[in-house]
Amino acid sequence: MAENLQYSAERTTVSDLGREMLAQGLTKGTGGNVSQLCADGETVAINPSGVPYEDVTPERVPLVTLDGEQVAGDLDASSETPMHTMILRRRDDIGGVVHTHSPYASTFASLAEPIPASHYLIAFAGDQVPVAGYEKPGSEDLGELAAETMGTDYDACLLQNHGTLAVGETAEEAFEVSMMVEYCARIHYQAISVGDPVILPDEEVDRLRSVFESYGQH
């Protein structure tokens, strides 16, 4: 029964957000991954490798340690587990990671161009969405590079020739950041196709980030 499943809430979150990622057009096929740090602070729920999102139930979501060792689940954990666990080890202010292949953001990733603050919602990620250089997908080196690129100032980055990575206190918050990154990428793409977009100053984006930290009903 689901109610007896170890870390049922975290595994349900991963299962639900995987389907939502596909529904929102943030990836295709089985691409992308979602992870959520569990209540013990040492275990991570992450989607299985190569399984269609519609087939991923909470019971099928693997559990791994922060060192990447799989400790539960009959299916292999995502091939991007090393990247997720690296980020979670490096950032003690986060508990969720979302990796997408969203089309507009991935376009800028392929150009190795950061997404600037041409729309105020960029503040969900930082004063821009920076670009991490290319590393082999599924490698710890990719996670290391992404962690270095984001530091503690950014909650998202582009993975060159690959896609995006977003983080948050929870996987749900990381997913929202992913949505905002793709939206801002689309707006910027459209804006530069028409003319020269106005870029918001850093101090305004900093103000917006402070506002967003307390935005909504928690």
Residue 43 lies in a domain: yes
Q: Give the per-residue pLDDT at 213.
A: 81
Active site residue 113: no
Number of domains in the chain: 1
The region that residue 216 occupies, defined by phi over 0 for left and psi between -120 and 50 for alpha, beta otherwise, is left
Range of the domain at 164: 2-213
Q: Is residue 155 part of a domain?
A: yes
When pLDDT is cut at 50, 70 and 90, the band that residue 216 belongs to is low
Active-site residue, from 10, 80, 173, 176: 80
Of all residues in the chain, what percent carry a pLDDT higher than 90?
94
Which pLDDT does position 212 carry in this prediction? 86
Residues 139-157 have a mean pLDDT of 96
Q: What is the pLDDT of residues 161-170, one digit of tens each?
A: 999 999 999 9
Would you place residue 1 in the very low, low, confident or very high pLDDT band (cuts 50, 70, 90)? very low
Q: Is residue 65 part of a domain?
A: yes
In a domain, 52, yes or no: yes
Q: What is the CATH number of the domain that holds 162?
A: 3.40.225.10
Q: What is the separation, in whole angstroms, between the first and last Cα of the chain? A: 30
Write the pLDDT tens digit of every residue in 34-43: 999 999 999 9
Instruction: Return the percentage of the chain with pLDDT > 70, whole number.
Output: 97
Q: Which DSSP string do the residues of 119-148 spell out, in sequence order?
A: SGGGGGT-SSB-EE----TT-HHHHHHHHH
pTM for this entry: 0.95
User: What pLDDT score does 218 carry?
Assistant: 43
Q: Identify each DSSP E strand in 4-85 by its residue range.
A: 33-37, 43-46, 63-65, 70-72
Q: Is residue 130 in a domain?
A: yes
What's the pLDDT score for residue 132?
97
Average pLDDT, the chain: 95
In a domain, 8, yes or no: yes
The answer to the question of residue 172 being in a domain is yes
54, pLDDT greater than 60:
yes
pLDDT tens-digit profile of 109-138? 999 999 999 999 999 999 999 999 999 999
Report yes or no on 218 lying in a domain.
no
